[in-house]
Homo-oligomer: A and B are copies of this chain.
Amino acid sequence: MNKASQPTINDVARLAGVSKKTVSRVINNSELLNGDTRKRVEQVIAELGYTPNPQARALALRRNFVIALIHDNPNAQMVLGVQHGLLEVLRDTEFELLVHPVDRGDPEMLGEVRRFLERQRPYGVMLLPPISENDQLAGLCAEIGCRYVRMGSAPFDVPQHMVASNDRETVRHAIAHLIEAGHRQICVIAGPRGFRSALERQSGYEEAMTAAGLPFDRTWIAPGDYTFDSGIRATERLLDLSPRPTAIFSCNDEMAAGAIHVARQRGLEIPADLSVIGFDDTTIASHIWPPLTTVRWPIVTMARAAALKLIGTGPGDHGDEHALFLSTLIRRASVAAPSS
């Protein structure tokens, strides 16, 4: 055993007086093993502080012990929340986290991801919205033969491959909250076309209005793309409506911040003259003035669950069933009764 480098399986085998294969069996928890030899080998492993070399395992198994995070999500807090949740469960395992952002707009995207997966052969891959909604991407993972879990605003895959929140339902609650407060003309700043989250959140709005017997108009739904600037533009449009809306539901916090800016520029007090609800509960929601009522989804919890599905030991997992995670309305100071 070379003192300079780390102990290998050979060192363990020699010191335990067994073959490499036996040590390998111990490492991989093989069933067919004499209890005594196992104990002896484990003893030596502990003494040496031996750890299997990940690169060698990866080569032999043609499978890398890493989880790949594939995303095209511009929300830093969300991406980092996911990394946090993932790493929390990966921390005490042999797995590492590989980050691989992609460009949804790139026509080469799928080919690029394929090369990535074929080269790295990750054990599992975590797909973040909005790219998680791409069925071809999911299909690619399946084809390459690596586990995958998709994160989304609603279940659009089987539980085994999905961690989802209930955006639509939570938005219904949020709108109902507004209606209870006395609002009738509730407008919405929508999310980008084609995003499932945007669809779910807007549907939640429509369902809540309909359920309450409240009429609403196409013009009440202003287009947005989840950016601050689009929130500004949308709000300007909405506040030009007459009669003016008394409440605005924004499909994310960033655009809600834009709404607050515009309101303030127009001399409108929040929440006295205009109530606002956001979505995501990013830092800005609690740090802006007034503190924003918003919807929080349990991102870290979802990521933890996803990691469990990814590294779980197969179809026996509990995780296979549980794929839905409830968002909650965080009530702060941006909602009040409309000033008649």
A interface residue numbers (CB < 8 A to B)? 5-6, 51, 53-56, 58-59, 62, 64, 66, 76-77, 79-81, 83-84, 87, 96-101, 115, 118-121, 228, 254, 257-258, 260-261, 264, 283-284, 286-289
Contacts and interface: CB of A to CB of B under 8 A. Distances in A.
B100 A96 contact: yes
A284 B291 CA distance: 13
A118 B49 CA distance: 12
A257 B287 contact: yes
Contacts of A51: 115, 119
Copies of this chain in its oligomeric complex: 2
A284 B282 CA distance: 10
A231 to B, nearest CB: 9
Given A6-B118, A51-B115, A283 B286 contact: no
Given A96-B100, A260-B289, A283-B284, 8 more contacts: A54-B119, A55-B59, A55-B64, A76-B81, A87-B99, A228-B287, A257-B288, A287-B288
Contact of A284 (B80, B97, B99, B287): B287
A161 to B, nearest CB: 23
Contacts of A286: 228
B54 A254 contact: no
Nearest to A115: B51
Contacts of A56: 59
Given A76-B80, A83-B99, A99-B97, A53 B119 contact: yes
A95 to B, nearest CB: 11
15 contacts: A51-B115, A55-B59, A55-B64, A56-B59, A58-B59, A66-B98, A76-B80, A79-B80, A83-B101, A96-B100, A97-B98, A228-B286, A261-B289, A283-B283, A283-B284
B53 A55 contact: no
